[in-house]
Amino acid sequence: MAINTNSIDEVVRAYFERLEERGLGEWVDKVFPNESVFEEIRRLAGLSAEEVVERLAQAVTERLLPEVAEEVVGVPRPAAVWYLARRIAMWYLQLAEELGVVRGVWR
């Protein structure tokens, strides 16, 4: 499934770029969406968009590098990780809608 990288959120893109600059590209792979992300979104269809974002963000937090999140976002690590995780989750949801994985199912 091809993903249009033009739709990547600017904060998420900055995080990815900082990881690449540091030679930590494997961390990009940890959060780049794959079929399991879209399966989870399908499974959550019927919940509100906010609930879906919260659940996806919770899963993403463990796959972020806190010190890089802090550097990119500019706030202490816990807040930076949560903020970035939510931005990534919203990006996932946007992609799922753009790719037709789900359509207008959010309350």
The structure's pTM equals: 0.88
List, for residues 9-39, the tens digit of each pLDDT value.
899 999 999 999 999 999 999 999 999 999 9
Cα separation, 21 vs 55, in Å, equals: 29
Which pLDDT score is estimated for 41?
Answer: 93
> What average pLDDT does the structure give for the chain?
90
3-state percent breakdown (helix, strand, coil) of the chain, nearest 5: 70, 0, 30
Q: What is the pLDDT of residue 67?
A: 98
Are the beta carbons of 12 and 57 closer than 8 angstroms? no
pLDDT tens for each residue of 32-60: 999 999 999 999 988 888 999 999 999 99
